[in-house]
Amino acid sequence: MFIDTHAHLTDKIYDANLDEIRANYLSKGVEKIIVVGYNLSSSIKAYELSKRYSEVYFAVGVHPSDAKFYNDEAEKTFISLSKDNKCVAIGEIGLDYHYENIDKDVQKRVFIRQLELANELNLPVILHTRDACGDTVEILKSNSALLKNGFLMHCFSESKEVAKELLPLGAYFAFGGAITFKNAKKQEIIASIPKDRLFAETDAPYLTPVPKRGQVNAPENVVYVYEFMANVLGESVENLKAQFSKNLTTLFKGRI
Ligand SMILES: [Zn+2]
């Protein structure tokens, strides 16, 4: 079984042909997908998709780029959606300083509030960080008591030193299509992380892996990420499939 731990099948780019996208990934053996929310409406849509497709699980949360839209209504909805047995995490949440027009203090406040929420609901966290590594690590360290359910660093693109700092806090690391772009450093980072803390993802529709670069990404392409990681780790794809399935059970405590 292949697992895509991070896909945005709620993106409107898929609205016209989602059944076809699904037939494709099922035919490749992708049997579990976490559809990750990034604001209130995508979280609700992710929940609805999980009702439509048996292999779809979902996470609810507000992405740092949408931090200013986090409010009581969103939080109440997340709490009620979290009661669904296919809700597996709070995410994607975190910090993103790539675009300067998004207030950093608001991002930090909303990030910490959602870490509290995950802790209250006993759910792991799916974490996004971009150009904000220092503050992300600092917030995670100073809120480590809120991380007892574990967290998954999605599309991990920081250094192996950062990975080493986060491992004792309970971090898991997912890699996506970006690792297949020419960059030897990524291989070193993957190899430095214990296999029982690794996952593969697509982040579809973004970050399409080689050899499909230039096309809209889809969960079926997680197969290329597995192949690439297997190569880096000197493992067979079959072994990696078994390892990541085990990791899924451990991090998501049997919810998936
Ligand atoms: Zn994402």
pLDDT digits (tens, 9 = 90+) for 126-142: 999 999 999 999 999 99
- What's residue 160's pLDDT? 94
Separation of 239 CA from ligand 1 center, angstroms?
26
CA of 155 to the centre of ligand 1 (A): 8
6 in Cβ contact with 32 (< 8 Å): no
pLDDT at 47: 98
Vertex 161, ends 158 and 167: CA angle to 5°? 90
Separation of 92 CA from ligand 1 center, angstroms? 7
How many separate domains does the chain show? 1
Confirm whether 58 is domain-assigned: yes
Asked, for residue 256, whether it belongs to a domain, the answer is no
Distance 126 CA to ligand 1 centre (A): 9
Task: Give 78's DSSP letter.
Answer: H
Protein residues near ligand 1, an ion, with CB under 5 A: 203
**What crossing angle do the helices spanning 72-82 and 104-121 adopt, rounded to 10°?**
30
Alpha carbon of 145 to ligand 1 centroid (Å):
25
User: What are the structure tokens assigned to 217, written together?
Assistant: 């990404």
Residue 139 near residue 113, CB atoms below 8 Å: no
Evaluate whether residue 66 is within a structural domain.
yes
Output the pLDDT for position 182: 76
pLDDT of residue 183: 67
Instruction: Spell out, as residue ranges, where the chain has pLDDT lower than 70.
Output: 183-184
Strand partners, 4: 33
What is the CA(17)–ligand 1 centre distance, in A? 20
Residue 249 Cα to ligand 1 midpoint, Å, equals 21
pLDDT digits (tens, 9 = 90+) for 202-215: 999 998 988 999 89
Residue 7 bridge partners (DSSP): 35, 204
CA of 53 to the centre of ligand 1 (A): 19
Question: Distances in Å between the alpha carbon of 70 and those of 60, 114, 146, 149, 243?
Answer: 12, 10, 19, 22, 36
| pLDDT tens digits, 182-228 | 766 788 999 999 999 999 999 999 989 889 998 999 999 999 999 99
What is the rounded end-to-end Cα distance, in angstroms, of the chain? 13
Q: Residue 109 domain-assigned?
A: yes
pTM confidence score = 0.96
Q: For residue 103, report the distance from its CA to the centre of ligand 1, in Å.
A: 20
**Are 81 and 87 within 8 A, CB to CB?**
yes
The CATH number of residue 62's host domain is: 3.20.20.140
Query: Has residue 143 been placed in a domain?
Result: yes
Q: Which residues form the domain of 15?
A: 2-251
Give me 12's structure tokens: 């409107």
Residue 100 is predicted with a pLDDT of 84
In the reported structure, the alpha carbon of residue 38 is separated from the centroid of ligand 1 by a whole-number distance in angstroms of 7
* CA distances (Å), origin 32, targets 135, 152, 190: 32, 16, 22
Tell me the helices (H) and strands (E) count for the chain, helix number first. 9, 8
User: Cα(222) to centroid of ligand 1, in Å?
Assistant: 14
